[in-house]
């Protein structure tokens, strides 16, 4: 969240020479800085990233058990609670729904240009629409809900998400609850341990071996800090899985430890909830770990932190919200790496090489600091399909954007959202050789962003950062550097 230079009024726009058009972004030569590449330990290409072998290829680890979303793979079915509807006058655009308080029933329209859409509420499939009108009427019970549209727009898949509150309903309806992750999507278990209390969970975490599955019963698990210190393997990870009604907590947001501290490698954390802790989930030296379908919220500082070389790890299909309740300046939603000022105590003075982290298809909202903060020393990650709402709103310690990138060779694509203090996305060069060769494309702002869609500081061509002209929606325009 630190930056080396203040805003420069009337900054000179850098001219980016384009050698060839790559995909819809028109971006080329993403890795020509001359620095030594840092390979992923797994050597697998990110689903949805640039074509392997091309100049803009980015390599990160992706779990083979967690396939990427494709619009064609969704089931063609409907469930009670939603009906296909025309988009009448007064229908709410999905992009503007985030953070709103509404009445039920409510008709929501998909983004313009949609050709197919799968609607989900609270992570449960409602309907698939392959012909206009692309709208859905929701009849939901009072309370907080999550709506998602997996839409094909302009021939490319996009995810649009909103978290909103229903203040009342016209008629009694059944409450839709967030669905658990299907067991069929998990790696096969060699041994399953069922736990139903904090002591049992502490013991199971301490004894975990490759291929173990720790199954959380519904309930609240309270500890000063749960520790996951054992390791799985790439082919036999340790799985900690529960429903959204299994809640890990310390019970305090102003003191104490982390809800869950992962120091072993190859963990899959799936489906459960983290609430009310000073920090949510912190991974230190955890290689190849996957966070999937989690709900992390009401946290004193950062929600999820990949740190101390936790490379080739990922957080996908998860919700991170309401962070920084104790210290707003430390209230990031997802934090990757460590600031140079912390390298001495975290990595012995060396850069924190938390590389090749994948942050995909998540919802990040109401974070006092940035929704995602990527530190100097990190390389080759991907931020894709994330929906932001009211992130980077405190202004403390320069927290004024959804995403702040100070690392190198990150790809930021297909994200959307609304509301922050200044820019939707930022790049800062806080240390020589860092904040370079990052790529932004296909990101959309629905409103509430008074600055640039992508702000690069300082705005100079030598940084190698690339911004596509389809990064749109902020008040000031695409970027303070030339798009291409």
pLDDT digits (tens, 9 = 90+) for 385-426: 999 999 999 999 889 999 999 999 999 999 999 999 999 999
Interval 206-254: pLDDT, tens? 999 999 999 999 999 999 999 999 999 999 999 999 999 999 999 999 9
pLDDT for residue 1 is more than 70: no
Domain ranges of the chain: 71-169, 183-479
Strand order in the sheet with 114-121: 101-104, 156-169, 143-153, 114-121, 124-129
Query: What integer pLDDT is reported at residue 288 of this predicted model?
Result: 97
Task: Kindly state the percentage of the chain with pLDDT values over 90.
Answer: 60
Does the pLDDT value for residue 334 go beyond 60?
yes
Q: How far, in Å, CA of 7 to CA of 296, rounded?
A: 33
pLDDT digits (tens, 9 = 90+) for 57-108: 332 333 333 333 333 233 332 333 344 344 556 678 887 787 777 888 888 8
Residue 293 pLDDT > 80: yes
Reduced to 3 states, what is the DSSP secondary structure of residue 247?
strand
Q: What homologous superfamily does CATH list for 183-479?
A: Single-stranded right-handed beta-helix, Pectin lyase-like (2.160.20.10)
Q: Convert the pLDDT of each residue in 15-65 to its tens digit.
A: 333 333 333 333 333 333 333 333 333 333 333 333 333 333 332 333 333
Model's pTM, two decimal places? 0.68
244-274 pLDDT, tens digit each = 999 999 999 999 899 999 999 999 999 999 9
Q: Quick one: which of 358, 427, 422, 428 has its CA closest to 392? A: 422
Band of residue 460 on the pLDDT scale cut at 50, 70, 90 = confident
Class level of CATH domain 71-169:
mainly beta
Residue 376: partners with Cβ closer than 8 Å, 6 or more residues away? 337, 339, 340, 351, 406, 407, 430, 431, 434, 435
The per-residue pLDDT for range 119-152, each reduced to its tens digit, is 888 766 677 788 888 888 888 888 878 888 888 8
């Amino acid at each position: 969240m630190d930056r080396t230079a203040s805003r420069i009024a009337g900054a000179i726009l850098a001219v980016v020479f384009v050698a060839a058009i790559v995909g819809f972004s028109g971006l080329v030569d993403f890795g020509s800085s001359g620095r030594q590449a840092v390979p992923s330990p797994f050597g697998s290409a990110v689903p949805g990233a640039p074509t392997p072998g091309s100049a803009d290829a980015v390599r990160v680890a992706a779990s083979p058990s967690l396939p990427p979303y494709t619009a064609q793979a969704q089931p063609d079915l409907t469930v009670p609670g939603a009906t296909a509807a025309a988009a009448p006058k007064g229908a709410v655009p999905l992009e503007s729904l985030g953070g709103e308080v509404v009445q039920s029933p409510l008709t929501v329209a998909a983004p313009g240009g949609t050709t197919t859409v799968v609607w989900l509420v609270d992570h449960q499939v409602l309907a698939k629409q392959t012909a206009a009108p692309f709208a859905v009427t929701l009849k939901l019970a009072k309370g907080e809900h999550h709506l998602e549209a997996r839409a094909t727009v302009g021939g490319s898949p996009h995810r649009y998400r909103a978290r909103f509150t229903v203040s009342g309903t016209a008629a009694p309806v059944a409450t839709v609850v967030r669905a658990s992750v299907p067991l069929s999507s998990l790696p096969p278990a060699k041994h399953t341990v069922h736990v139903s209390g904090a002591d049992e969970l502490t013991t199971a975490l301490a004894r975990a071996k490759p291929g173990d599955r720790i199954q959380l019963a519904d309930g609240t698990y309270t500890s000063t800090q749960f520790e996951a210190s054992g390791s799985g393997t790439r082919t036999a990870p340790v799985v900690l899985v529960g429903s959204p009604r299994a809640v890990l907590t310390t019970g305090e947001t102003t003191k104490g430890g982390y809800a869950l501290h992962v120091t072993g490698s190859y963990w899959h954390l799936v489906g459960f909830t983290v609430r009310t802790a000073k920090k949510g989930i912190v991974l230190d030296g955890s290689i190849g770990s996957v966070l999937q379908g989690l709900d992390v919220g009401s946290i004193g500082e950062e929600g999820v932190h990949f740190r101390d070389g936790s490379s080739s790890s990922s957080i996908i299909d998860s919700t991170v919200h309401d962070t920084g309740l104790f210290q707003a300046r430390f209230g990031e939603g997802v934090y990757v790496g460590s600031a140079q000022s912390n390298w001495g105590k975290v990595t012995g003075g060396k850069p924190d090489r938390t590389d090749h982290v994948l942050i995909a298809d998540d919802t990040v909202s109401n974070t006092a600091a940035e929704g995602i903060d990527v530190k100097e020393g990190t390389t080759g990650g991907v931020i894709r399909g994330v929906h932001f709402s009211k992130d980077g709103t405190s202004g403390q310690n320069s927290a004024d954007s959804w995403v702040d990138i100070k690392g190198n060779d990150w790809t930021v694509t297909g994200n959307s959202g609304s509301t922050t203090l200044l820019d939707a996305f930022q790049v800062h060069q806080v240390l020589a050789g860092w904040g370079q060769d990052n790529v932004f494309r296909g990101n959309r702002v629905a409103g509430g962003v008074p600055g640039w869609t992508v702000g690069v500081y300082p705005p100079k061509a030598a940084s190698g950062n690339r911004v596509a002209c389809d990064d749109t929606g902020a008040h000031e325009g695409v970027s303070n550097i030339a798009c291409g």
